[in-house]
Structure 1
């Protein structure tokens, strides 16, 4: 009987242990996944700049950042199934992703076209005849960090500027291009955060840099992030040039966090006032204390 009870107890312990293990296996991943599944949201704006002179200057950056933050609050993020870089590259090759609309080229770009006496039709004709036969490169890139509200050294707004070049058959040969921008958290996978509008580059000109200002609105943990830029020629599904933190120091280890983590907590100081209410016992204690002091003073005078 004793042996049977011991065996039954052992089986009960094993069953309970197995149940706890199953609960742990089913509950723990859900808790962890809750943080992982927080959707990433970044709102960006890009513009053409002349070299490194015009861009998002310190004077107007606050206005631009406030616009981005307002847009982030109003923005309803749609589910993007092509988040990872390899997925997006394959999607372009298979026709599941297409180039941005050429009509997105803004007035600033049209002015630049007119300045060099090349219109949009000429750009299209030049690039269509050169698909796969011209070389592209991203010559350089640099970054700037803005807005660290809690002053912990991690910022929720940053900009990336880069200079793309095309090596064709003529001087200042034009090409319509756009860029896919990716972030990698502490050596992790490259995750897409922005696709630029189509813009035109001219040969190896230094006056056709492009800058992207980004506010990380949600889901980006406090950490160091690398940046990668994939350059595409408009209408061509393959990556024509790439630049990442491996080649450019300006894209390496940016101290970033999303806006929902960059919060200043105000310390509230509470002053405690202690009020002692005296009853009859307190008053008698005070009288006895005073009487004792006078009695002690009288004794001291007699001694002297």
Structure 2
């Protein structure tokens, strides 16, 4: 039969083991935080700008970001077809993906039409005879980062602004285009996150930049992401111009993470209590008991 001190020692070992198991359970979410999340969601909004000076102000940007976040919460989880870039390019070529609707051209683009003395009807008429026969380029692109709530250097919201040009037969010749936007995590595959509306560019004008603001709402791990832009001419199924992080430093290694990872945790002080038998003892009391146990054993051995 075990003595009182041996029973106490066994209970102490069991209590220590239980504490270690509880600690392991507490740490387990951190250990699995980097596991891949199957559902990846991003909410974006695009608009024409007149160069960098006409970009959103910081105040307007934050208002727009809050709208995007609200939209992200209401967004349904839908499995996206043709998620990777090669699959989307092939889907356009085979007619499995439909192009954005031309009527989605916003009033801002219409205002640009008026300024250039070119109405929407004239733009459409000019397009019919030259679709697929002109050269395009994305002249430049840059990005900006917003919203790092936990201040770990990784942001949940970013914008990409780019200037697309068309090399046609007349000065400031118009072209209706749209862009497919992709992200690549740390050199991985290009994965689609947004398709812009159709917008109109004019020759090599510097007043027809397009800006896309995006909030990553779910499933994007904390890492560095590159951006790629594929430009399509409306009515033509092939990519007419591409710009990626390989050519533009402004699209390279964006420090990003989704909203579900950009969380500020409040530190809580929790008092540890180890249960022994029917009562409770702190770690300090247990250490004193163990020390006393070995001290008494030592004295007993000397007496024997």
**TM-score using structure 2 length:** 0.77
Tell me, yes or no, if structure 1 residue 204 matches structure 2 residue 200. no
How far, CA to CA, are the matches of 1:210 and 1:239 in structure 2?
A: 17
* 1:286 aligned residue: none
Q: What is aligned with 1:95?
A: 95
Q: More deviation in 34-43 or 85-94?
A: 34-43
The residue that corresponds to 1:50 in the other structure is 50
CA apart distance, 1:95:
0.3
- Structure 1: segments with no counterpart, 5+ residues: 1-31, 273-304
In 2, distance between residues paired with 1:93 and 1:37? 30
- Counterpart in the other structure of 2:300: none
CA-CA distance at 1:57 after TM superposition: 2.0
Q: Pairwise mapping of residues 248-287 of structure 1 onto structure 2 (< 5 A)?
A: 248-269=248-269
CA distance in 2, matches of 1:265, 1:37: 21
Listed as ranges, the matches of 1:69-80 within 5 Å are 69-80=69-80
Query: Is contact 1:146-1:155 (8 Å) kept?
Result: yes
Deviation at 1:267, TM superposition (A): 1.1
User: What displacement does 1:270 show?
Assistant: 5.9
Secondary structure at the counterpart of residue 59 of structure 1: helix
Cα distance in 2, alignment partners of residues 45 and 168 from structure 1: 29
Q: In structure 1, the residue corresponding to 2:268 is in which secondary structure?
A: coil
Q: CA-to-partner distance for each residue in 1:127-182, whole Å, 9 max, x for gaps?
A: 22112211000000000000000000000000000000000000000000000000
Give the match's secondary structure for 2:53.
coil
Pairs within 5 Å for 1:95-174: 95-174=95-174
Aligned to 1:217: 217
Q: Which runs of 5+ in 2 are unaligned?
A: 1-31, 273-304
Shift of 1:271: 8.4
SS at match of 2:235: coil
Bigger radius of gyration among the two: 1
Residues 1:181 and 2:185 are matched in the alignment: no
- 1:25 maps to what in 2? none
Indicate the residue corresponding to 1:226 in structure 2: 226
CA RMSD in angstroms comes to 1.6
- The Cα of 1:112 is off from its aligned counterpart by 1.1
Cα pair 1:141 1:251 within 8 Å, conserved: yes
Q: Which runs of 4 or more aligned residues in structure 1 lie more than 6 Å from their structure 2 counterparts after TM superposition?
A: none
- Name the structure 2 match of 1:245: 245
**Could you tell me how far 1:79 is from its partner in structure 2?**
1.6
Query: Are residues 193 and 94 of structure 1, via their aligned partners in 2, closer, same or farther at CA, if it must alter by over 3 Å?
Result: same
Shift, 1:81, TM fit: 1.7
In the alignment, the residues of structure 1 paired with residue 157 and residue 113 of structure 2 have an alpha-carbon distance, to the nearest angstrom, of 31
